[in-house]
Structure 1
């Protein structure tokens, strides 16, 4: 079928087919039908550069009142013609009937894929009785460019370069354009766009798609990511203009400076255009024939910590219709070609999106003539402000996290009024972070309706809804998710969006489990792990600057060692940390595997893990990890209460103890990873290292009389238990000391920081000590999350202290409770990777005095619901177990759960201490 008709057919057929699937399922009598098809974790993705992409679906029950629905087999069809699938013909791949209950991470096993093609696919399943379902609605993906030889375009730029001596960036964000003539109708066309710095794409004046600050953040000393756009519908016979607006952004970032490219925005793009018969009509490629001109937009600041700045738009330099065909670009300059040595990868993570509009709650006139806008909430994102002033007048916008400060961390933008005397500033290639905006230079006070904001994040989907009877817990949960969202920019979690924008490994401990419990982060974290692979072999860009042996290059660039060393951030290099920062390359893949059940992330990162551990071992003497690096390279826990006054104890026994406990925890996790992928010899070697280190730690740091490790901090006690360093006979006593530390010594408050707190919460969650977790989360005095609420916070702070100079009020430090609300209060935890089997464990009333919890969690293998409520000493419980899974329900003995006589679908299991245990097959249950 020709491509144009095929596209129309696909759209009409898809709408029709959705309505027919359930009817066909009913006729077949199948208890399930496949739905929610994904490829590489996304729906109908463009530009997949995997030759064997992973396919997935969810079995959906056809009868909500039935039980025990399971998949026994599946059959996948893949074709380049959607009409072929209607005829049940998969010319690229017909898997035949595969006897398997697997529904996720199914590798494509058909004919070799071709670059730049559309592939349609569908799947049918057999249920638990062997009845065959209707085929799913047709899904699709498009392949990207698999080989370097597929790229025939050149990298182009203006030839200008960034001057680091300038206070503000000296570069204008450039425009590029090219006009082509088409003699026939284009039926199929995708353009692949790689850029150093951000880009926007226009075809005949129309902006294509809605990506924000694209592509995702990437180590541009090694790699460029390209984004795919479908442009066929925007092309026509005759003349057509392809245009780009580039934003400076990461193109001038010091760690990405290399000799083979200028520090300025670069572009590489190409598109093959096909007619209705699939014949190539034209090939669009970037080269020196493209024309370029400065745009009216430019970066304020220099894209470095404490000076990421904002944007300046000069309306007097604007050129209407610059991206239209009838515009004359004769006076424009020709682009210059470059040959940077960069690997090209398709962007395999969602674009940034504007996910919530924010309206101001007030505006005040200040004595000096400025205006102060209160947006009502701290956020990272874009603003749009209508202003009036004399032509040529500059209007400045200063953004602040604090009511008492005009500007924090040099977050600022500006607008120069054009000849009309009015205009609208709106972000394009940068973002601000704050709650308050000071407007300086405006002719009159703006109306509230003339000011808007939008919070921004990577466009992953939320998967969880949670609420409970405790209003403080609802506030903490909500503000944690709000903060996490505002930090998830460009395919990494930044520590803070206003000051550093660094992807810290230590902070990932504090955020990653919360992220996966509440959002679909599968593709996001796979992308971030590629960033960690890219930066390996280069040291971080901090240290003892007074030590000549730690000297950096001219502009804070870390030395390249080409070994297993890891900087403390990826893909950003800058920043301090310690073993728990680089060690995220072990912990994050394992957490990802436990949550999503995909072994590929373990295999893809196994060499990274091996070389990281080998590097750490070079600093081990007598089985004890010794302090290494500069002042900022051996941090343990970070930002515990009053930490700035106490100092960052890099060489104190408690810090060395923490890092050695963490090393063992890293090793034991690596053992699990090695066993999961069949690397038995490596697992044995790491187990031996962990055992030897365990003995040495217990000799040096454990006081058997007091049952304390080093200083007995919450972090060290919890990590000794979590890492299995604590001896079996002593574990109960060590936990009791931890309990006394929390409840008595600190009167129920937390006394830990970023990494220590994350690992403390992880351990307590793993052993079900909800009483201790709730004790720390119910506090409203310093230090606590409730203290932040009591002091007017709308986001989670960097430090426990209020308003310490120079610290961020929107930060990744203390987001780790966000996972507990789902696996603790709701009690949903995986028993098998990917939640094919899982636990629902209702907390005991004496541990958590909360009267009700309601959660809907879209796990990787289906929607799990739990609603429990205690009233007058009586527990009511409703739960949904999705098809193709099995749940283990654990209910406190004192709740005396009652079963109906005919509950054959429920199997009572062996009773555990304090809990009655039942096995539940798929279905809806009310107790």
Structure 2
């Protein structure tokens, strides 16, 4: 009876709480801003942008609601956390702005001050005008806005690199500076720029968890600096800041061609120490510490093995006999340390506005064999680029050697090797620090004790961009391709640019970038990464890459790095590395990549910042146009067309063939048309008109010279030339469908469903087929298991994607950027999450799962973290029936496109409506929410 009375008493209270909750839900907004970003980065340090851009995405408050939209936003930026928590925007308060924009909003508050921290938050109004809760706090700190703010000097050791030597001759140097503080500081941001990698220590403690810092730059023009918050590591009394430099890129051939810079790693660093943790903008520091001749230096036990050169990237040797564990501590004896050398060096200093390199994915051996010669062969189970750690033992003074290989039959590939010299203890642990290896197998020589699986570890090292996709289907081969393409891409992303291969060259080729960039954007959050890489391309413009004019017989350097400054708009084939060969499709990345970024992220600034570079590139190409056709220019390695198609090495790729000229002219037209779109968008209408006219005239010239009327093909009728012509809109409109049909025949009949294209041609082919929605043709290619195909790689024990379709040709990489272009199709093809042709940044997007019988895939589950939030598409076919689950994130609109046989029932959803058909596709508009259709 007592319990009954208690329940009767509680009922009114429960009803009252339900009413309050219901009223509260009506008053509370339907969305909340999350994932706050500044210049694509989460809480970045040391930005030197005076007007950084702020972004967020929206999270639904209640998963059961539909149609959530942003109708207004309010951003507050404050100089302290206390002010921000009180919602006092002393730096910037936008008040309420009526807008649905939530990406890349320009900061427009008070002028920012160097070396300060800014705190911000945002709230929004939803579709009914209800205010959201405030977002969580976010922040960014500023770097140094003016080059004159740098009081530090470039310093290095007295060891200089000998270019004539067969291997590196200099040690990785230590530097240190001791100083006194009267009290423990509240704020101290240490800015460190280096040519060569660096690590930073304060009072013996390593600062930061990143590795191989900073991001790679063209050190003939620029060095990037990193901001380190060291206030909590400093103490009252004596302190020491120590820096360890790694030789690495400081001796790369592209950077040491001329003798106007020191042939040794150098560093420039400074810190302003403040008493307050949040000093006012006009407060002066209590002291400044800057690199100069008073800093002490000493060789470390570590040294680069190799030349940081083609096939000679080498490794590292650690001489444990030279260890000094006190080198970065206050107690270190500096009596035998030398004064640093000041090297007057003119470089632009800019902040590293891209994610750091970090250690990922611990890898353990799957097998270790002891061989007859006493060496050990370690199988790590997967090909990877990164670091290894090996416990070693032997006689004091012995050198333990490590060799790295991609191929089971070779002890070493591409000259990658490291070593460890034992000290008097006879034991030690080798670990990478300023170099990395690439391979699957490790050969260890010189051990006196058995090597076990517990003695060996590996880690993949890459730039720490965030993942943006997940994909799983009923097709095991497609799943394997998705997984291995992503793994390969990650292993190529060290240092803020995509390398062609991490073991032989480590260069950022433009042609390879075209083959990987959309794969990157559909699978990772690459905004900051590609923004940085575009700055690298601007830095290298005007620099000759490999060779001089092929007609200039007096210029003999036909096969070596040039580095001559031509200042004529030319784009070298790689950035930031200058070196390497390529063709018009390599330099053309300076137009295509910004355009892809604009489509994907809605980033108009990337078009504005790179427009003059695009214009210079096209003006350079114009100097090689005769009769509206671009003619071959440069040397042997300057006019490549497609690269590494099946059996390409036997057929020859550097020839003056008509098919090569056809492809490059089609790509030239593709560049012209793309640049014209860019120009129209940013108000450069005169330039747009000129390029549109040139594109039309060149299209007519290509049709006159290369079009084959008898079979609707171009040049040799290869997939590469057909795809390039179609993508560039070379065929007249009345012939387009016939040329597309000819491409279909080339794929299905001539090549029996196999691909017959390389890096450039294959990227153009997949781009075209994705744009055309031809999942059937892409699937016919990606489903093959015989040569040439990705399935052939899988069946031949590949764990990464190869450089060539052939496995056993010597000298070629088994971890390469060549054939990663299907990576975007898993998301926008099989997954069906496509960019809308009339919108940018996924504010509107297409949902189009593959049509019935376009593939043999029965189901797929895809998630994509788009610029507007998480999109999900899960579909399954049982017979002819399609089941579909869709998540449309707040503040976006999905447009579902289906073939007529896949008509769905939308009657139970008020936020779904039928749109007019487009071609043979049914269309439905879907507002935010979670949906299930049959």
**1:611 match:** 616
Cα deviation for residue 552 of structure 1 reads 3.8
Give distance in 2, aligned partners of 1:768 and 1:196.
46
Describe how 1:344-359 pairs up with structure 2 within 5 A. Answer: 344-359=349-364
Describe how 1:123-134 pairs up with structure 2 within 5 A. Answer: 123-134=122-133
Give distance in 2, aligned partners of 1:889 and 1:702.
37
Q: Relative to structure 1, is the Cα distance of residues 546 and 389 closer, same or farther in structure 2, using a 3 angstrom cutoff?
A: farther
Match of 2:921 among 903, 912, 915: 915
Asked if structure 1 preserves the Cα contact closer than 8 Å seen for 2:906 and 2:913, the reply is no
Q: Relative to structure 1, is the Cα distance of residues 598 and 400 closer, same or farther in structure 2, using a 3 angstrom cutoff?
A: same
Give distance in 1, aligned partners of 2:232 and 2:467.
31
List per-residue Cα deviations over 1:591-616 (Å, max 9, x = no partner): 01111111000000000000000000
Asked if structure 2 preserves the Cα contact closer than 8 Å seen for 1:543 and 1:633, the reply is no
Asked if structure 1 preserves the Cα contact closer than 8 Å seen for 2:518 and 2:824, the reply is yes
Cα deviation for residue 554 of structure 1 reads 12
**1:661 match:** 666
**1:846 match:** 853
**2:7 match:** none
Q: Relative to structure 1, is the Cα distance of residues 743 and 609 closer, same or farther in structure 2, using a 3 angstrom cutoff?
A: same
Unpaired segments of 5 or more residues in structure 2? 1-20
Cα deviation for residue 23 of structure 1 reads 13
Match of 2:638 among 633, 636, 641: 633
Determine if the alignment matches structure 1 residue 507 to structure 2 residue 506: no
**1:252 match:** 251
Cα deviation for residue 830 of structure 1 reads 1.7
Asked if structure 2 preserves the Cα contact closer than 8 Å seen for 1:399 and 1:406, the reply is yes
**2:199 match:** 200
**1:924 match:** 930
Asked if structure 2 preserves the Cα contact closer than 8 Å seen for 1:467 and 1:853, the reply is yes
Give distance in 2, aligned partners of 1:67 and 1:323.
58
Asked if structure 2 preserves the Cα contact closer than 8 Å seen for 1:674 and 1:680, the reply is yes
Give distance in 2, aligned partners of 1:803 and 1:479.
19
List per-residue Cα deviations over 1:90-149 (Å, max 9, x = no partner): 011111111111001111101100000000011111111111112111110000000011
- 3-state SS of 2:189 partner: strand
Number of aligned residues = 905
Describe how 1:462-477 pairs up with structure 2 within 5 A. Answer: 462-477=467-482
Determine if the alignment matches structure 1 residue 385 to structure 2 residue 390: yes
After superposing the two structures, state which structure 1 stretch, 720-729 or 421-430, moved more.
720-729
Give distance in 2, aligned partners of 1:880 and 1:555.
53
**1:267 match:** 267
Asked if structure 2 preserves the Cα contact closer than 8 Å seen for 1:552 and 1:559, the reply is no
Cα deviation for residue 398 of structure 1 reads 0.4
- 3-state SS of 1:835 partner: coil
Cα deviation for residue 388 of structure 1 reads 0.6
List per-residue Cα deviations over 1:179-234 (Å, max 9, x = no partner): 11111121111100000100000001110001111011101111100011111111
Match of 1:527 among 509, 525, 532: 532
Asked if structure 2 preserves the Cα contact closer than 8 Å seen for 1:25 and 1:33, the reply is no
Give distance in 1, aligned partners of 2:515 and 2:710.
32
Cα deviation for residue 41 of structure 1 reads 0.5
List per-residue Cα deviations over 1:790-843 (Å, max 9, x = no partner): 100000000001210100000000000000001101111122111000000011
**1:898 match:** 905
Give distance in 2, aligned partners of 1:513 and 1:455.
22
After superposing the two structures, state which structure 1 stretch, 724-733 or 548-557, moved more.
548-557
Asked if structure 1 preserves the Cα contact closer than 8 Å seen for 2:548 and 2:557, the reply is no
Unpaired segments of 5 or more residues in structure 1? 1-21
Match of 1:682 among 671, 682, 687: 687
Cα deviation for residue 911 of structure 1 reads 2.3
**1:403 match:** 408
Determine if the alignment matches structure 1 residue 742 to structure 2 residue 747: yes
List per-residue Cα deviations over 1:273-295 (Å, max 9, x = no partner): 11137352221111110000000
Asked if structure 1 preserves the Cα contact closer than 8 Å seen for 2:248 and 2:308, the reply is yes
Asked if structure 1 preserves the Cα contact closer than 8 Å seen for 2:301 and 2:319, the reply is yes
Give distance in 2, aligned partners of 1:706 and 1:746.
16
Asked if structure 1 preserves the Cα contact closer than 8 Å seen for 2:629 and 2:702, the reply is yes
Q: Relative to structure 1, is the Cα distance of residues 884 and 560 closer, same or farther in structure 2, using a 3 angstrom cutoff?
A: same
- 3-state SS of 2:812 partner: coil
Q: Relative to structure 1, is the Cα distance of residues 868 and 805 closer, same or farther in structure 2, using a 3 angstrom cutoff?
A: same
Q: Relative to structure 1, is the Cα distance of residues 25 and 204 closer, same or farther in structure 2, using a 3 angstrom cutoff?
A: farther
Cα deviation for residue 740 of structure 1 reads 1.0
**1:17 match:** none
Match of 2:570 among 565, 570, 574: 565
Q: Relative to structure 1, is the Cα distance of residues 327 and 546 closer, same or farther in structure 2, using a 3 angstrom cutoff?
A: farther
Give distance in 2, aligned partners of 1:650 and 1:217.
33
Describe how 1:23-172 pairs up with structure 2 within 5 A. Answer: 26=25, 28-172=27-171
**2:840 match:** 833
Give distance in 2, aligned partners of 1:23 and 1:570.
58
Determine if the alignment matches structure 1 residue 623 to structure 2 residue 628: yes
Asked if structure 2 preserves the Cα contact closer than 8 Å seen for 1:543 and 1:631, the reply is no
Determine if the alignment matches structure 1 residue 594 to structure 2 residue 611: no
Give distance in 1, aligned partners of 2:371 and 2:391.
19
Q: Relative to structure 1, is the Cα distance of residues 128 and 306 closer, same or farther in structure 2, using a 3 angstrom cutoff?
A: same
- 3-state SS of 2:71 partner: strand
Normalising by structure 1, we get a TM-score of 0.96
- 3-state SS of 1:747 partner: coil
Give distance in 1, aligned partners of 2:386 and 2:932.
43
Q: Relative to structure 1, is the Cα distance of residues 255 and 787 closer, same or farther in structure 2, using a 3 angstrom cutoff?
A: same
Asked if structure 2 preserves the Cα contact closer than 8 Å seen for 1:163 and 1:170, the reply is yes
Cα deviation for residue 255 of structure 1 reads 1.5
Asked if structure 1 preserves the Cα contact closer than 8 Å seen for 2:546 and 2:558, the reply is no
**1:10 match:** none
- 3-state SS of 2:689 partner: helix
Give distance in 2, aligned partners of 1:283 and 1:28.
52
List per-residue Cα deviations over 1:818-877 (Å, max 9, x = no partner): 000011011111221110000000111211111101011000011100100112332111
- 3-state SS of 1:71 partner: coil
Cα deviation for residue 298 of structure 1 reads 0.2
Asked if structure 1 preserves the Cα contact closer than 8 Å seen for 2:47 and 2:141, the reply is yes
**1:448 match:** 453
- 3-state SS of 2:342 partner: strand
**1:725 match:** 730
Q: Relative to structure 1, is the Cα distance of residues 25 and 555 closer, same or farther in structure 2, using a 3 angstrom cutoff?
A: farther
Asked if structure 2 preserves the Cα contact closer than 8 Å seen for 1:28 and 1:134, the reply is no
- 3-state SS of 1:256 partner: coil
List per-residue Cα deviations over 1:886-911 (Å, max 9, x = no partner): 010012221232223x4221110112
Give distance in 2, aligned partners of 1:574 and 1:309.
18
Asked if structure 1 preserves the Cα contact closer than 8 Å seen for 2:210 and 2:359, the reply is no
Cα deviation for residue 924 of structure 1 reads 0.7
List per-residue Cα deviations over 1:300-349 (Å, max 9, x = no partner): 00000100000000000111211110111121000011111100000011
Match of 1:874 among 872, 881, 889: 881
Match of 1:788 among 790, 793, 807: 793
Give distance in 2, aligned partners of 1:395 and 1:23.
71
**2:212 match:** 213
- 3-state SS of 2:585 partner: helix
Cα deviation for residue 28 of structure 1 reads 4.1
Asked if structure 2 preserves the Cα contact closer than 8 Å seen for 1:835 and 1:859, the reply is yes
Give distance in 2, aligned partners of 1:345 and 1:509.
26
Give distance in 1, aligned partners of 2:600 and 2:351.
24
Give distance in 2, aligned partners of 1:242 and 1:546.
54
Give distance in 1, aligned partners of 2:698 and 2:175.
58
Asked if structure 1 preserves the Cα contact closer than 8 Å seen for 2:546 and 2:638, the reply is no
Q: Relative to structure 1, is the Cα distance of residues 24 and 224 closer, same or farther in structure 2, using a 3 angstrom cutoff?
A: farther
**1:308 match:** 313
After superposing the two structures, state which structure 1 stretch, 787-796 or 701-710, moved more.
701-710
List per-residue Cα deviations over 1:770-789 (Å, max 9, x = no partner): 11100000000000000000
Asked if structure 2 preserves the Cα contact closer than 8 Å seen for 1:664 and 1:723, the reply is yes
Match of 2:287 among 276, 279, 282: 282
Cα deviation for residue 26 of structure 1 reads 4.9
List per-residue Cα deviations over 1:499-519 (Å, max 9, x = no partner): 011100000111000000000
**1:19 match:** none
Cα deviation for residue 422 of structure 1 reads 0.6
